[in-house]
Amino acid sequence: MTEDTLLDIRNLSVPLLAGADRPFAVEDLSLTLKRGEILCIVGETGSGKSLTALSVMGLLPSNLPKPSGQILFEGRDLFKLSRKQRLALAGSRLAMVFQEPSAALNPIYRIGDQVAETFRQHTDLSRAEIQARVLDLFNEVRLPDPKAILRAYPHQLSGGQSQRVMIATALALNPAILLADEPTTALDVTTQAKILKLMLELRDRHDTGIIFVTHDFGVVAEIADRVAVMRHGRLVEIGSKDQILRNPQADYTKTLIAAVPKLEPKTPAQNLGDTVLTATDLTKTYKSRSLLGGGREVTALKGVDVSIRRGETLGLVGESGSGKSTLAQCVIRLIEPDRGDVIIDNGQFTGLTGRALRDARRRVQIVFQDPYTALDPRQSIGSAIAEGPIIHGVPPAEAKDRALKLIGDVGLDAGAAIRFPHEFSGGQRQRICIARALAVEPDLLIADESVSALDVSVQRQILDLLARMQRELQFGMLFITHDLRVASRICDRIAVMRQGEIVEENDPATLFSTPRAPYTRELLAAVPGRDWQDAPARDTTVAPDHSPKGFQR
């Protein structure tokens, strides 16, 4: 262990409970982290990358068997420390930023009080001194109006601001190591770019060692010094960023990199059918009232017009809060627009109520972002898929046959029909959600961030599945995403939204080559890893160490 080595993980194994799909969540893992280094750990869901970070923090689930191996930090084996000693290190010398900041912040406490808690637990600073330190941290992570955020509650912050608060909390006591577990996965590209830049600045300013867990190779290209690739709990390959991205040795690494979507325009579909969606002048304003009187208004949509033809995919891209999801929910009538008109397949959709609305909703279906909450855990997969057709008058036997066919069409075996949601992975659940949406044979399918939380390989499979099903069934698709790389893979036209308005709309080739709106140019510039993907592949002079037990000093 050299002087600049902060962390030395030796032969770490984290057992799983009996009956799991494999014996170990992490198996015989060895790697190191140097001072001032950013080590990215990449891999698909279930690869063990998050449990590796939790092992370092001492936050493994209590029901798991005791891990084996060594985690050496500052000359001490963390597994040999008492619980009190581990707690003293957590937040002071070791800190962690989690994926979902809204789940990590307590909704009933002010932001300033939650960040101040770290200082109250680990220091003897006075109340005034703590507040001054918290304000300094907010300034350091580039939060706007720190004094206002000090008094704000979590629901009053955007996703990017909440993540900056979590980073400020993690850095409160200037830890030696920062562990970041997918901290930018759910963020739009411009906010993600700001968070990644902030990470680099903080590393340079404090010489902090950072372990960054991610499944996004674009993020890896932006910030990593070294990259460790994990699969099924084992280390597959480790090396410098340039070695892994440009000259990977393991077949699994090559497969992951090949699945990363590129900013390459799709050739628009030809021979499109009739118009399946015409939405005109859609306007929606949200109003909120304070208990003390007064309130605020937010205009989410400002007279938006969209149209989609049969067999065509229109992409909606933009930052969080741009109005993308509000537009989709107005189209499907999950929320009512204040003004505007929606026509689906030449049939009026606006103004319908009761049975007429229920019957019309067969023509439009939606696939949501989170497949884990979209399925009833008590309902078998076959029943979930057949339920929609039965509601709309299809005989149960015919609906069951249709469900079985769709289960096969989306790449699952027929036995999946009698199983329940908890028996499937996230990618499989999203396939089931797609099959359920298509079971009623809609004219229009809305995909609302339906691949944003998936691994790149699963994401590619879902995009290919949607494209194939669209070719077969010829439905129109409204595809909502914050990732232009994903939009370029599947969309025939792309509409860019900002602050409730469509600022630009064009085919992907024109949009990428000659964007008119400054905001579109800003989105394109923020795409992570674009320089890496645009550059030609080349061999490196030093071969990476891809031995599963190899140490990288």
Question: What percentage of residues in the chain have a pLDDT greater than 90?
Answer: 52
Measured in degrees and rounded to the nearest 5, phi and psi for residue 304 equal -85, 135
DSSP symbol at 306 = E
Q: How many CB atoms lie within 10 A of CB 129?
A: 12
Integer angstrom CA distances of residue 548 from 28, 332, 457: 8, 50, 22
Is the dihedral angle over the CA atoms 374, 378, 380, 385 positive or is it negative? negative
The answer to whether residues 343 and 522 touch, using CB atoms and an 8 Å cutoff, is no
333: three-class secondary structure by DSSP: coil
HSE (side-chain half, CA atoms, 13 Å) at 380:
13
Judged by average pLDDT, the poorest of 142-156, 203-217, 338-352, 525-539 is: 525-539
Q: Cβ contacts of residue 355 below 8 Å, gap of 6+?
A: none
Non-local (6+) Cβ contacts of 538 within 8 A are 246, 247
Closest C-alpha to 459, from 492, 483, 443: 483
Please tell me the least confidently modeled range out of 115-119, 193-197, 351-355, 530-534.
Answer: 530-534
pLDDT value of residue 52: 94
Q: What is the 3-state secondary structure (H, E, C) of 445-483?
A: EEEECCCCCCCHHHHHHHHHHHHHHHHHHCCEEEEEECC
Q: What is the mean pLDDT of residues 60-72?
A: 92
Query: How much is the pLDDT for 327?
Result: 94
Residue 538: what pLDDT?
46
d(CA 341, CA 349): 8
- Which burial class, exposed, middle or buried, applies to 390 when counting CB atoms under 10 A from its CB (0-12, 13-18, 19+)? middle
Largest Cα separation within the chain, whole Å, is 73
Q: How confident is the model at residue 220 (pLDDT cuts 50, 70, 90)?
A: very high
> Does the pLDDT of residue 290 top 60, yes or no?
no
pLDDT of the residue at 32: 96
Tell me the pLDDT tens digit for each residue of 76-99: 999 999 988 988 888 789 999 887
Q: Alpha-carbon distance 235 to 546, whole Å?
A: 8
pLDDT mean over 419-439: 88
Strands 226-231 and 476-481: unpaired
Task: Tell me, rounded to whole angstroms, the distance of Cα 526 from its chain centroid.
Answer: 16
List pLDDT tens digits, range 237-258.
999 999 999 999 999 999 999 8
Sequence-distant (≥ 6) Cβ neighbours of residue 391 within 8 angstroms: 358
Question: pLDDT grade, residue 549 (50/70/90)?
Answer: very low
- The band of 15, judged by pLDDT with boundaries at 50, 70 and 90, is very high
415 has pLDDT over 60: yes
pLDDT of residue 221: 92
**Helix/strand number for the chain, H first, E second:** 22, 20
Which pLDDT does position 54 carry in this prediction?
Answer: 92
Phi and psi at 49, nearest 5°, equal -70, -40
Q: Are 237 and 254 in contact, with CB atoms under 8 Å apart?
A: no
- Per-chain mean pLDDT for the chain: 87
538 burial (CB, 10 Å; 0-12 / 13-18 / 19+) is exposed
For tokens 């298509």, the residue is 438
Compute the CA torsion angle 71, 77, 83, 88 (nearest 10 deg): -90
Tens digit of each residue's pLDDT (9 = 90 or more) over 42-54: 998 888 998 999 9
- How far apart CA 407 and CA 381 sit, in angstroms, is 9
Reported as a pLDDT band with limits 50, 70 and 90, residue 235 is: very high
Half-sphere exposure of 162 (CA within 13 A, CB side): 22
- pLDDT tens-digit series, residues 432-443: 999 999 999 999
Rounded to 5°, the CA angle 296-300-301 comes to: 135
Long-range residue pairs from 238-242, CB within 8 A, at least 24 positions apart, any chain: 238/31, 238/544, 238/545, 238/546, 238/550, 238/552, 239/543, 239/544, 239/545, 239/546, 239/552, 240/540, 240/542, 240/544, 241/40, 242/540
Integer Cα distance of 20 and 497 in angstroms: 44
Interstrand relation of 38-42 and 68-73 (parallel, antiparallel or unpaired) = unpaired
Alpha-carbon gap, residue 284 to 335, rounded angstroms: 9
Selection from 19, 45, 20, 22 nearest residue 430 by Cα = 45
Q: Lowest-pLDDT range, 42-46, 62-66, 263-267, 368-372?
A: 368-372
